[in-house]
């Protein structure tokens, strides 16, 4: 069954808020094996809402609409249902009684405007609303299953899970479509390699006839490889995804740092914890972001000893014992200073590892020799230390985010491969 999600409300088109309802609905539908093929947002305009319903009716089997069921004049979903599906509104005495009861329970007189909420298009089923007043609406029209839900997230979520999903499951079992199909995903997360370089490496695995589809999703912190498989049975599909993942991993090795929702700080934290290693960080351009990433993880106090944000040169000298003449000679953003910062913080904290970041986050402060985006990452351990040079593009925020990610990756690769990257 193909589905379309329609979210209704002017605020969705002003762009000030993200629409959190449609990802929630999409995830529920997808994990139950429906295929969401379109998502549409439309404002509080009866003609356009009806147009969106009409378009959806022509192209999908299931429509889930959210929003526009409130009592006020900008709530137009029911009128658009009347227009699209040619039904009249009729007063539903049982719903009216429920609404009256709920006001009585709260000891508030019912505003007359709330009576409107007991008007329901003829021949439709009201869906109960645990958390609010407005009932949802279900109607079946030729081959379309149409559901209208409230826009308030908590009301919508309860109604979707407790009213809509059971009906959809029942429809699918009784329908003639036969067995259900599931869409399964596996996400393999990489960092430090471009989308096209990844593609070239695993291109030979990509076969249009293959039932597992592969997609490359670039983000600021790295490229995620997403494997997708549609199947009628969950377990054999998981096995096939496992096999495919193994083939990808054979090629990419430690370029993959995690799976699905794993973060790099989680992976690095687990490695540090398992190997009983402690770490301390010295940051300049990231200003605390690297420490913040590491301590995102509950329990990080077992391996994270301390951090210093040595923003001024004086703080580098005082806390990390870096000679001022070295800063003068090499510049604060240099391989030499990155090494001294990593060694200095390791000594200060008496930790196993010292990690440092120094760079030019911009937008000002760049020179032809040392452009904005230049970042050195230093790493010190018992026997030695090394530093890596990076050039990150884009704006201040991105440079800092990418520098922290690269620093975490230096630690991961050192622990996996026992050497520098």
Span 243-262, contacts to its own copies by CB under 8 A: none
Partnered with residue 355 across adjacent β-strands are 281, 379
Judged by CB under 8 A, does residue 38 bind its own copies? Answer: yes
Q: Which is nearer to its own copies, 15 or 418 (CB)?
A: 15
Among 245, 270, 287, 331, binds its own copies (CB under 8 A): 287
* DSSP letter, residue 163: I
275-294 per-residue burial string, b: 16 or more CB within 10 A, e: under 16: eeebbbbbbbbbebbbbebb
Binding to its own copies in span 365-404, by CB under 8 A = 391, 393-398, 400
For its own copies, the closer CB: 30 or 171: 30
Residue choice 1, 8, 33, 42 for contact with its own copies (CB under 8 A): 42
Q: Which stretch binds its own copies (CB under 8 A): 88-96, 150-158, 241-249, 409-417?
A: 150-158
Count the residues of the shown chain that bind its own copies, applying the rule CB under 8 A.
117
CA distances from 361 to 69, 366, 394, 399, 410 (A): 48, 9, 9, 6, 19
Pick from 7, 19, 78: nearest CA to 43: 7
Contact 65, 150 (CB under 8 A): no
Nearer to its own copies, 185 or 240 (CB): 185
Give the ranges where 6-124 is alpha helix by DSSP (H).
11-14, 21-31, 46-59, 77-85, 93-106
Given the rule CB under 8 A, which of 82-90, 165-173, 203-211, 231-239 is the region that contacts its own copies? 203-211
Whether residue 372 has a cis bond before it, omega within 30° of 0:
no
Based on the shown chain and the rule CB under 8 A, indicate whether residue 106 belongs to the binding site for its own copies. Answer: yes
Q: Residue 304 or residue 379: which is nearer to its own copies going by CB?
A: 304
By CB under 8 A, is residue 362 in contact with its own copies?
yes
Q: Does 281 bind its own copies (CB under 8 A)?
A: yes
Q: Is 358 in the site for its own copies (CB under 8 A)?
A: no
Contact characters 48-77, its own copies, x per CB under 8 A: x--xx--x---x----------xxxxx---
Burial 249-269 (b: 16+ CB within 10 A, else e): eeebeebbbbeeeebbbebbb
Please state, in angstroms and rounded to a whole number, the distance separating the CA atoms of residues 85 and 70: 20
Q: Which stretch binds its own copies (CB under 8 A): 22-30, 160-168, 376-384, 411-419?
A: 22-30
């Amino acid at each position: 069954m193909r589905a379309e999600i329609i979210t209704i409300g002017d605020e969705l088109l002003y762009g000030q808020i993200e629409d959190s309802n449609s990802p929630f609905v999409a995830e529920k539908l997808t994990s139950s094996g429906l295929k969401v093929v379109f998502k549409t947002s439309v404002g509080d305009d009866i003609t356009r809402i009806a147009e969106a319903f009409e378009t959806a009716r022509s192209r999908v089997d299931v429509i889930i609409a959210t929003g526009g069921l409130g009592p006020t004049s900008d709530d137009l979903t029911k009128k658009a249902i009347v227009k699209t599906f040619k039904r009249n509104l009729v007063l539903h005495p049982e719903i009216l009684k429920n609404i009256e009861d709920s006001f009585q329970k709260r000891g508030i007189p019912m505003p007359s405007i709330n009576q409107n909420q007991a008007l329901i298009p003829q021949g439709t089923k009201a869906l109960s609303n645990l958390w609010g007043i407005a009932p949802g609406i279900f109607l079946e029209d030729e081959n379309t299953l149409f559901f209208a839900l409230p826009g308030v997230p908590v009301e919508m979520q309860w109604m979707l899970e407790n009213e809509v999903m059971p009906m959809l499951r029942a429809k699918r079992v009784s329908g003639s479509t036969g067995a259900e199909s599931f869409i399964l995903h596996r996400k393999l997360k990489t960092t430090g390699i471009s989308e096209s370089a990844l593609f070239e490496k695993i291109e030979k695995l990509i076969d249009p006839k293959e039932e597992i589809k592969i997609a490359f999703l670039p983000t600021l912190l790295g490229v995620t490889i997403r494997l997708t498989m549609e199947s009628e049975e969950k377990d054999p599909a998981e096995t096939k995804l496992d096999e495919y993942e193994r083939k990808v991993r054979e090629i990419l090795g430690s370029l993959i740092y995690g799976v699905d929702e794993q973060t790099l700080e989680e992976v690095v934290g687990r490695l540090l914890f398992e190997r009983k290693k402690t770490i301390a960080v010295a940051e300049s351009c990231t200003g605390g972001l690297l420490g913040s990433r590491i301590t995102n993880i509950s329990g990080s106090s077992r391996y994270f000893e301390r951090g210093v944000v040595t923003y001024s040169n004086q703080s580098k000298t005082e806390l990390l014992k870096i000679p001022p003449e070295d800063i003068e000679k090499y510049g604060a953003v240099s391989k030499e200073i990155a090494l001294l910062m990593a060694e200095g913080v390791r000594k200060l904290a008496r930790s196993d590892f010292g990690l440092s970041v120094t760079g030019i986050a911009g937008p000002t402060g760049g020179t032809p020799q040392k452009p904005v985006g230049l970042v050195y990452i230093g790493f010190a351990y018992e026997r030695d230390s090394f530093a890596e040079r990076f050039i990150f593009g884009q704006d201040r925020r991105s440079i800092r985010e990418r520098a922290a990610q690269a620093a975490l990756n230096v630690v991961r690769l050192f622990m996996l491969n026992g050497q520098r990257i």
